[in-house]
Structure 1
């Protein structure tokens, strides 16, 4: 079994921001806020967050805020709930949540809740259980979860539960590991996990492990290293992680590294990217792999950051 190429992954993450003219940079331009969260959380899990200029990042991040209170994927881009969560998560990493107007951000998120309890991603109205999780996670971090109708939000999420125990993006939508993480995460944060059939869902999730040891997102699909996060975190939240082979999964995950240049790909020998690099490391962290900070399965942030938010005087301001 290979080893974690820590220093090369750190160099890869730090180099991504400096390369402005390569393909990855161009295609990521519209979701740079997400990229910041992926890259910076990667560095924090590796204990290297000090390698970046905090003031520079925070200044850029705040320039992405819209007058509505939401954040865009980059400067001048329209606000969306997805980028808003990434912005809040990055500020939480840096312990800089005090730089935002919490009421303004909260008001933006609250405005996106629909009558049935669901959430739209932005003013154009697309509904998805991803947005339910994002709203609940973001408001929880900001200590403002009471600003929305939590009961209706939970009821809507449960309406997206399928007969196989999984969850889809809307009622009747196909069960998918990514959506399951969002629904289970939202239910965990709201203290509603008793509404989940843990054995049925656990069985569906553990069936995502294929012969190579990797995990896929739904039946008959190829394994992808990012599901090391989406599936594992869900299994941990419902206390069924012992139903998969951790050893086989660790081997698959480590085989997805570019051990020469750093970074991680979806599958062995594919092109690396920042997204898969984060969720590769987050998956290893959930598996208690040495050399990584523990990660919280519901908030997708290092445990020490979550503890600071909820269990220190600064976080409770």
Structure 2
């Protein structure tokens, strides 16, 4: 069975052009994610020309309107304070101590930057000496965002989600700044992506250069991720938590990005060697996420104790190529003894793809490749929906999250209907090239010659949120 690209394109067109179902109401704070996945999916399907120049201009204006003057982006326009709230703030000096810092968050910042790259169109930008492709980050306050990102890192190397001021009677101002949110691998991964997208090559800049911003503590970040590997070989928030395929992917991709050159694609990553304490254990754990999916149970109650449902959920042996038949369907779970889920096909196979291109997949490379046809059947025969998109589980309705990660799985393995894909950045290679060009434009704008152009872009962004 093949990917029905036309149906998937129509599904994403509906997500772009019409109101989303009422179930998405609770996702208002993550609107930036929904927009990014929608445009990125159309890009993967080779259908980004469905966005008109006016679409691109309006969407860019919306993204920039969510930029926080202290760095970072909020998840949507309803979660951003008016610009006047910050009229007396100096975010470089960190004064005053008490302020409304909390609406910019690390995930929204990543999706905002990726969305700007996806929307890149020189026709919507002011006249500059840079090429059209180098204007995609026009209006982004690079230095403020990198300073803000550094403030989100804790002393133990982990990253939080956002900054907030809380009551503290012991402080002279009776308030203190707190790094809020969890400390798991998702934020490590997102921080690594933002750093790679905006930072560039430090060797090109002197410390007194306008482009210089102190880096995050890379060694502490790698050490934090290393401490997250558990007894069974997987990754969790810490070694005492349950391992999870999503966390494993985030840790692996983050480590590769920490060593990635600014241009030219990934190189062999020393951070992977330093950050993975037990590589054989990790490979065994990733391989054991796959199992032969028992078809024909789609109408079963998920709470049922039937033998068929229980058999489908329990993984007792690693699925290997010699145990498969031409009709086998291989699903993936993200944790031990859980049901198959379309997104875990991506989290697992994306992890292995990154390890393979760093020559770290050990002896599991052959089995994983042989299992792909059976894994592909799970996506296309069990979770691909008749109206397009992918469902979380067989028999379910499609949603934006699982629909994008289903495409990501197929694109990573070179599906003919999709563009080439970069698993570490989770977007097409075309988008990665746009990010690289946008970074060049940002850094050029930080030179003395480019200062006026940079101010023009920032003035445009500030005007959007007055």
Q: TM-score normalised to the size of structure 1?
A: 0.93
1:156 — aligned with what?
Answer: 224
Instruction: Determine whether 1:246 maps to 2:314.
Output: no
**Between 144-153 and 263-272, the greater mean CA deviation after superposition:** 144-153
2:137 — aligned with what?
Answer: 97
Following superposition, the deviation at residue 291 of structure 1 comes to: 1.2
Q: Superposed, which structure 2 residues align to 1:255-274 within 5 Å?
A: 255=381, 256-259=383-386, 261-274=387-400
3-state DSSP class of the match of 2:291?
Answer: coil
Match of 1:72 among 71, 74, 77: 74
Structure 2: how far apart are the matches of 1:254 and 1:30? 31
| Structure 2 unmatched ranges of 5 or more | 80-102, 121-135, 165-179, 203-213, 259-268, 294-329, 445-466
1:27–1:17 CA distance, 2 compared to 1 (3 A): farther
Match of 1:175 among 236, 243, 252: 243
Structure 2: how far apart are the matches of 1:189 and 1:316? 19
Structure 2: how far apart are the matches of 1:271 and 1:203? 32
Structure 2: how far apart are the matches of 1:263 and 1:291? 14
Structure 1: how far apart are the matches of 2:442 and 2:233? 35
1:316–1:248 CA distance, 2 compared to 1 (3 A): farther
Structure 2: how far apart are the matches of 1:98 and 1:251? 42
Structure 2: how far apart are the matches of 1:36 and 1:107? 26
Structure 1: how far apart are the matches of 2:335 and 2:163? 30
> Is the CA contact 1:309–1:316 (under 8 Å) kept in the aligned structure 2?
no
Structure 1: how far apart are the matches of 2:235 and 2:104? 27
> Is the CA contact 1:216–1:222 (under 8 Å) kept in the aligned structure 2?
yes
3-state DSSP class of the match of 1:238?
Answer: helix
2:92 — aligned with what?
Answer: none
Following superposition, the deviation at residue 305 of structure 1 comes to: 2.3
| Structure 1 unmatched ranges of 5 or more | none
> Is the CA contact 1:198–1:238 (under 8 Å) kept in the aligned structure 2?
no
1:161–1:71 CA distance, 2 compared to 1 (3 A): same
1:86–1:311 CA distance, 2 compared to 1 (3 A): closer
Instruction: Determine whether 1:34 maps to 2:33.
Output: yes
3-state DSSP class of the match of 2:40?
Answer: helix
Larger Rg computed on CA atoms: 2
2:186 — aligned with what?
Answer: 130
1:56–1:85 CA distance, 2 compared to 1 (3 A): same
Structure 2: how far apart are the matches of 1:44 and 1:19? 18
> Is the CA contact 2:137–2:441 (under 8 Å) kept in the aligned structure 1?
no
Following superposition, the deviation at residue 150 of structure 1 comes to: 0.8
Structure 2: how far apart are the matches of 1:28 and 1:136? 24
Structure 2: how far apart are the matches of 1:223 and 1:25? 23
Structure 1: how far apart are the matches of 2:75 and 2:238? 24
Q: Superposed, which structure 2 residues align to 1:287-302 within 5 Å?
A: 287-302=413-428
Q: TM-score normalised to the size of structure 2?
A: 0.64
Structure 1: how far apart are the matches of 2:349 and 2:366? 10
Structure 2: how far apart are the matches of 1:162 and 1:289? 34
Structure 2: how far apart are the matches of 1:304 and 1:19? 27
Instruction: Determine whether 1:165 maps to 2:233.
Output: yes
3-state DSSP class of the match of 2:155?
Answer: coil
1:27–1:19 CA distance, 2 compared to 1 (3 A): farther
Structure 2: how far apart are the matches of 1:316 and 1:296? 23
> Is the CA contact 1:264–1:272 (under 8 Å) kept in the aligned structure 2?
yes
CA offsets 1:10-32 (integer angstroms, 9 cap, x no match): 11112124433632342332211
1:7–1:131 CA distance, 2 compared to 1 (3 A): same
3-state DSSP class of the match of 1:279?
Answer: helix
**Between 54-63 and 240-249, the greater mean CA deviation after superposition:** 240-249
> Is the CA contact 1:69–1:108 (under 8 Å) kept in the aligned structure 2?
yes
Instruction: Determine whether 1:222 maps to 2:221.
Output: no
Across the aligned residues of Structure 1 and Structure 2, the Cα RMSD in angstroms comes to: 2.0
Total equivalences in the alignment: 315
Match of 1:205 among 286, 297, 322: 286
**Between 141-150 and 232-241, the greater mean CA deviation after superposition:** 141-150
